[in-house]
Amino acid sequence: MPDDKTFHMTPEEFRRHGHAVVDWIADYYKRIESYPVLSQAKPGEIRASLPSAAPAKGEPFAAILADVEKLILPGVTHWQSPNFFAYFPCNASGTAILGDLLSSGLGVQGMLWATSPACTELETHVLDWLVPMLGLPEKFLSTSTGGGVIQDTASSSSLCALLAGRERATNYSSNAKGSDGKLVAYCSTQTHSSVEKAAKIAGLGAANLRAIAVDENFAMRSDELARQIVQDKSKGLTPCFVCATVGTTSSNAIDPIPEIARICREHGIWLHVDAAMSGTAALCPEFRDIHRGVEFADSYCFNPHKWMFTNFDCDVFYVADRKALIQTLSVLPEYLRNQATESGAVIDYRDWQIPLGRRFRALKLWFVLRHYGVEGLQHHIRQHIALAQEFANWVRADSRFELAAPAPLNLICFRLKAGDAANESLMDRLNRSGDLYLTHTKLNGKFTLRMSIGGTNTQRRHVERAWKRIQEEAGKSS
């Protein structure tokens, strides 16, 4: 074999193929509405189309890209389609994609300040920008006692918050000795399932996570929370963590944070606020009331990768007391020791998260904030919420349908009055058509359709067409 054979892509090859990939992505966005939103692939179909073994010799890049078109696209559910109304927005943008590309190109591993100072300092600074943008309390600023860090998802933020609450409640002894089975945590029956997973991972156990009843609007009942805490303490248990939600996954319910915070302060319990999707709405002053009471929280998170045009993954996690988080998560083996860390003058974000390694995620967030500015972000949030409110009015005006929950922001929960079977059939027909994609939940035990509006390129015509198709299919079943 010639000594000069490297198998690597040369800079010029990278330039040429890179242009081809960017062109492909740009073309994909131009034609994205031509694809069925929900992949029509059958289980195992994509794997069956792939070779049974890896190639012995490298293949031309053009052939690889061609197979993306031929083999991969049929198995893609198009989250970036303007007709995607399922789950929650997970909206990318050209700006964020380019920021992510640059992050991949730099190949930074930002576990320590010393391993790339810009990775750490840009993240700290950009997250400080977001505090006043969202009307969050100043204690979450890095210049105060707290600070922010980018996690992969809100699931990781919930786990980090629960661990910090666990340690604070045990005077930082459970990391060394393990959990004694007496620690209990609290959420509502509508809280995201990641909190249950966090309770399992953190060693509390699912049986020690109390699911608190909700009111008629599906928000946590603070009186039930207070009652359960008193009951647990009377049994010798130690309450350590409460998760309140700003915008539950099922119905966008907003828990009464001021009342929950008062209870947590009374009992010395860590309060975490999960605002995964809905927190972004606070970019607009008129929706900032959703953050009422957050000033009393110990931690808070929201997802720019849901509704702020910053492609997955990018969850922003704030703490009021960074020392509590660092003391919970810090492990310092000899091979990570360095002068900057020992000086105490820098942030090492490896101490703020579960994994050691971390990507340069702040680049794409920085790109987005600079490209859109506050004005541009507010424009789209207002547009999405206005479209959602208009959709809710259309539902109210159609006697076959009913709203299943309040619609304060961009999620509408609705259903046919004809019952569960009719609603499930309606959703299945719509999704099989490929014209749009809806998902469901159950509220008060009833099968409920969810219309989540927040896609980067979703416009009024897409929402109008979705409602027209919903009405058409409902007519076929009536």
Place of tokens 């049994």: 235
Q: Which residues pair with 411 in a beta bridge?
A: 452
Greatest Cα-to-Cα distance within the chain, rounded to the nearest angstrom: 77
- 424 falls in which pLDDT band (50, 70, 90)? very high
Q: What is the pLDDT of residue 334?
A: 63
- 179 falls in which pLDDT band (50, 70, 90)? confident
Q: What is the pLDDT of residue 5?
A: 79
pLDDT in tens, 308-359: 999 999 999 999 999 999 999 988 766 667 676 666 788 899 999 999 999 9
Q: Which residues contact 396 (CB under 8 A, 6 or more apart)?
A: 403
Q: Which residues contact 191 (CB under 8 A, 6 or more apart)?
A: 211, 243, 245, 248, 274
Which three-class secondary structure state does DSSP give residue 421? helix
Q: Which residues contact 339 (CB under 8 A, 6 or more apart)?
A: 114
Q: What is the pLDDT of residue 346?
A: 84
Dihedral angle over CA of 85, 90, 94, 96, nearest 10: 160
- 1 falls in which pLDDT band (50, 70, 90)? very low
pLDDT in tens, 242-294: 999 999 999 999 999 999 999 999 999 999 999 999 999 999 999 999 999 99
In one-letter notation, the amino acid at residue 238 is T
pLDDT in tens, 122-154: 999 999 999 999 999 999 999 999 999 999 999
Q: What is the pLDDT of residue 114?
A: 85
pTM for this model (two decimals): 0.94
Integer Cα distance of 23 and 407 in angstroms: 39
Q: What is the pLDDT of residue 53?
A: 95
Calculate the CA 42 to chain-centre distance: 28
In one-letter notation, the amino acid at residue 362 is A
Mean pLDDT of 293-311: 97
pLDDT at 478 over 70: no
